[in-house]
A and B are shown apart, each in its own frame.
Chain A
Amino acid sequence: MGELRTVTQAVLRKDAWAKVTGQAKYASDVAVADMLHMKLLFAGRPHAYIRSIDTMAANNAAGVAAIFTADDVPVNRRGLITPDQQVFCDKKVRFVGDQVCAVVADTREQAAAAAELVKVVYEDQPVLDDPLKAMVEGAALVHNDKPGNLCHTVRLRRGDADAALAQADLVVEREYFTPMQEHAYLEPEAGLGYIDEQGRVAVRTSGQCTHDDLRQIAKALDIPKDAVRVIYGAIGGAFGGREDISVQIALALAAWKLRRAVKITWSREESIVGHGKRHAIIARHKWGARRDGTLLAAKVEVISDAGAYNYTSGDVLTNFLYSAIGAYEIPNVSVDGYAVHTNNVPGGAFRGFGSPQATFAAELQVEHIAEELGLDSITIRLRNCVRDGAILATQSEIPAGVSLRELIEACAREIGASRQQGNGWEMPTVEANEPHKRRGIGIAAAMKNTGFGWGFPEGSEARVALHGGAEIDWAEVHTAAPDVGQGAHSVLAQIAAEVLNIPLDRVRMVTSDTADIGDSGPASASRLTMFAGNAVKQAAEQALHQWSLEERPAVGGGRWNAPATTKPDPETGACVNSISYAYGTQAVEVEVDLETGEIEILNVVAAHDAGRAINPQQVIGQLQGGMIQAQGWALSENMVSEGGYVKTDRLSTYLIPTTLDVTPNIKCVFVHQSDPVGPFGARGVGEIGVVPLAPAIVSAVHDAVGVWFDRIPLNPERVIAGLRDACN
């Protein structure tokens, strides 16, 4: 590989100009003349049979063009993985955000007013708001075909965990709880459905995979895929919350039936109730270690709140098969996982896809083991962390290029820890300036897979066209990879410019339109730089070859197929689960106010491996943004759901971090271990930033006040209660 020109440079994002001038069109900004407006009627109750739906009064209301119910949907099923949800419910509603009908009218106000006139007679059923209660024999069923309310189970056996625990010098057994998390992307769900110039039903919206949306629309409308078109414009954040359907099918149905443009924009309350959440997880861990800190065995039980429908619950749970033991090599592992249906808002994809919850418990287990053995936790991490040649819990060898050991050391040094003679590490002692405050430092390490893995046949499509005569005047890069804000389109343009050896401003991106390009796969699993990046690289190389054959324009492209992974064995979980991982270690210094229970983050060190970063500025942006989401999850974001009703459905009650909650002292440290699969050696970094911070904060709080917390968020009430319990 020669010297790189564009890749590795902090080039300016291609979309930034339009965004800072207000010219960028997000889904809610799109309007056409004579469009109609839609209101989706939510169930508004968590569990009930529908006895009747009377739309007559609503139909007669001013301005109403149509009302669509279950009767109007040709194949009334939806679901990204499992078609277990009705597009419009007519038999049963299973959570407050289930959709019952769509009211379409001349104005937004008319649609909303008419929706209130729809008379639905419900027969309420017992509400399951707790997965532990939902698992009990005799509990009411959310789905009649899911006995025990079991949505999905997973099982892994490596070695003999029970035997190894019996022989361990130390056994630590604890239970952890991590809560639901709301994505709170700033742009609520919105979209415009219309009939395009070729007669296709088109939906212009914000999502995470145009082709997954298209597939579900075509299926529900029972029309061929080529009669459907999905287009994304500027997308106001996603973080996993846009993987499942929100408004897409309803918009397509209305436009298809009415042959008119129909628009919807959800309110913040509808957004919070209407899309899936990070799964709440109960994790029971029993780990065994030798006196010297060597981890011998881990026995883990994971219970996740799947909520009302599967969404991605099964897949998130499957990810615990490797991540439940954190970033460690442990020879004896047993994992049993249960995703349990309740009448809560469905659990779904959220940045990290189970890894933040898994890492929370695993990293705190390491801390407890260190404390009980009288060792420092950095030593235990270094002794047991994955390295090249390590065998994962899934009994496959970790892909080459593991940098975690270097990251742990770099992070520890940067936060002020020092290696002692005798090989241990000592954390610095930090003291508060006020008598009612205490300071402490904590650290945590993590890994996160890139790409889905687990046997899913993965790839990405791209096409590159080169225009010009003797020289390449400009190149067109076609991809369906969604730029949800992470900067994917700019990274792909950089990769094309590098391969083609042309300036970046001669690369034109044509993006996210199913009428233009095949499936590039979703913006999820930190995968676009690696998967869509390799597809663009391959397409650019093919186009260059055609160029050399004097083709004008010279076109290359097709599907890039990722190296294969395999499905987990149902009994042992054995498989090749992933082709690549991102690694990171984060340390944090906190100050705890003993009187108010408030926790202030003073310093953060984030040591990460981006491989060869395509755009270092954007990598830092991903890490900083991920860390602040993790800070919110750990401290202030308290998703309250009572009896299936969401009590925190506004940004005034669900508190995401502001500039005043975030420390200016965040230092990023990099180790660059090229990924063998990534284009130019790049790694996926979209998720790893969100993974280790929460357990690092809990450890730092323990360092400050001597109290271990096993659940988050550490809001002032919980901290004060914990301090009080410790005194008694």
Chain B
Amino acid sequence: MSRTERAIALRRIRRLFQLALEVAKQDLALADRYVEIARRIAMRARIRMPREYKRLICKGCKRLLLPGLTCRVRLQPRREPHVAITCLRCGHVFRMPIKGRKDRERLMAEKEARATRRARGRWLSRRGPKAP
């Protein structure tokens, strides 16, 4: 496999993921098909799936993982802190450890901030709709 072929393979993979993300909302099956082709190309050309795309593929069913649509992303702070990504179609859970104190603290701070915002939202809605 020559260098140009690898370059072409990588370009095709990028293009296919771009297309998959575009059509995912209208036609999920087609998006899965694009992901499948991208994977096959990567395997055939023996190149690594770029990390940003690797995380968009379910390790269980090899279909597209799209936060909010086909997967659930949760931060798990207890014991070994990690990010848990659950595929909503096959139920497979992929866990990504959060390494290092800096990473951990940053993510937990974000989680805290979100919880605070949610709590504030609840508190505001309890007080009824805003006066005009």
A binds B: no
Seen from chain B, the residues whose Cβ lies within 8 Å of a Cβ on chain A are none
Seen from chain A, the residues whose Cβ lies within 8 Å of a Cβ on chain B are none
